[in-house]
Amino acid sequence: MKLLNAQAEDPNLWNDPAAAQKVMKQRTALEDALTAFDALTTNYTDTKELIALAEEEGDQAMLGEATAELQAIHVHAHQQEMETLLSGEADSCDAYIDINAGAGGTESQDWAQMLERMYMRWANARDMQVEIIHEMSGEEAGIKSATLLIKGKNAHGWLNMESGVHRLVRISPFDSNARRHTSFASVWVYPAIDDSIHIEIIDKDVRVDTYRASGAGGQHINKTDSAVRLTHMPSGIVVQCQSNRSQHKNRATAWNMLRAKLYEAELKKREEETQAKAEAKTDIAWGHQIRSYVLQPYQMVKDLRTQVESSNPTAVLDGDLDEFLTAALAAKIQGGGAGAS
């Protein structure tokens, strides 16, 4: 910390803005980690004293509350431990999340919107900002696709293992015969890179299409071709943005997204080249089922890579993902757990 403070106070630091921003980012991250550690230590000490007092006075209500707080501290401490392991090249970046409904029409489109809500709630609970970059509504309900931008500390580090296929089993609210349906939606998470990371893109390799942004209609409907779609032909990567009324702003955002996706593809390629175990590769591979959410005939969410389970799918779909994210991160760091099915 002393070294970073000395560098930050160097009057020549800002002669190189990129280096200066890196130093300031490192210092802020370290300050946050130290503050969190101090708060955790204080809470632990206070709670131990409260438990001792409750036992001495025989106050079962106070003892129950203090014990629950101690368990919460344990969970928080484990999360902080995981945070220290988020040292990957893109872990500290903000995160884009692409969500696409699978085959199955309204059922899968409704499921895709449930996943969108789940990630937004997870981010909001962590005081992260969420921006909807693109969203295409389904014909009857739900969404065909959406892109979210999650802005917050280590957003990509926490979320990057969510890439894959998510499966829902439930009694369909759209089936008049109340039959059980299985729906699929795919998720792809990639880092929102900053200007310090240079990705070269040849203009002739990108097809640019503009179209009219979808909306609710009425007097506020977009009457101009402000939405932008970019197709990187060598890789087949497609991005689109319609979050702004300005085509110029949407175009700039779309180019940022394309650079981010190409960067993520390069990171994945390098990771696969250095991975020792074949099963570790499939853990994060696009197109593999990673988690099942069963609402009928029983209640269960199960991660197929780490085998972590929850019997409270309502809480999970409300954004309570930390247990799954922490287990996936630990498995990745340790070299991978079981492969996805």
Average pLDDT over residues 292-310: 94
pLDDT category, 312, cuts 50, 70, 90? very high
On whether the CB atoms of residues 154 and 92 are closer than 8 A, the answer is yes
Cα–Cα distance measured from residue 52 to residue 48, given in angstroms and rounded to the nearest whole number = 6
Asked, colleague to colleague, whether 2-84 and 203-272 share their fold, the answer is no
Query: Does the structure show a pLDDT above 80 at 85?
Result: no
Q: How far is CA 56 from CA 44, 46, 49, 51, 180, in A?
A: 18, 15, 11, 9, 54
pLDDT above 70 covers what percent of the chain?
85
| pLDDT at residue 279 in the model | 40
* Average pLDDT along the chain: 83
Show the tokens assigned to 295.
């609402």
Q: What's the pTM?
A: 0.69
Tell me which CATH homologous superfamily contains domain 2-84: Release factor (1.20.58.410)
SS3 54: helix
On whether the CB atoms of residues 311 and 299 are closer than 8 A, the answer is yes
The CA-CA-CA angle for residues 185, 188, 213, to 5°, reads: 80
Domain residue extents for the chain: 2-84, 94-191+275-333, 203-272
Q: What is the pLDDT of residues 118-167, one digit of tens each?
A: 999 999 999 999 999 999 998 889 999 999 999 998 899 999 889 999 99
On whether the CB atoms of residues 123 and 92 are closer than 8 A, the answer is no
On whether the CB atoms of residues 247 and 226 are closer than 8 A, the answer is yes
SS3 127: coil
Which CATH number is associated with domain 94-191+275-333? 3.30.70.1660
Q: 77: which residues sit within 8 A by CB, 6+ positions away?
A: 40, 44
Q: Does domain 203-272 have CATH number 3.20.20.70?
A: no
Q: What is the pLDDT of residues 201-235, one digit of tens each?
A: 888 999 999 988 765 444 444 556 789 999 999 99
Show the tokens assigned to 1.
């910390």
Query: Does the structure show a pLDDT above 60 at 59?
Result: yes
Nearest to 285 by CA among 191, 164, 190, 167: 164
| pLDDT at residue 133 in the model | 92
| pLDDT at residue 122 in the model | 97
Query: Does the structure show a pLDDT above 90 at 185?
Result: yes
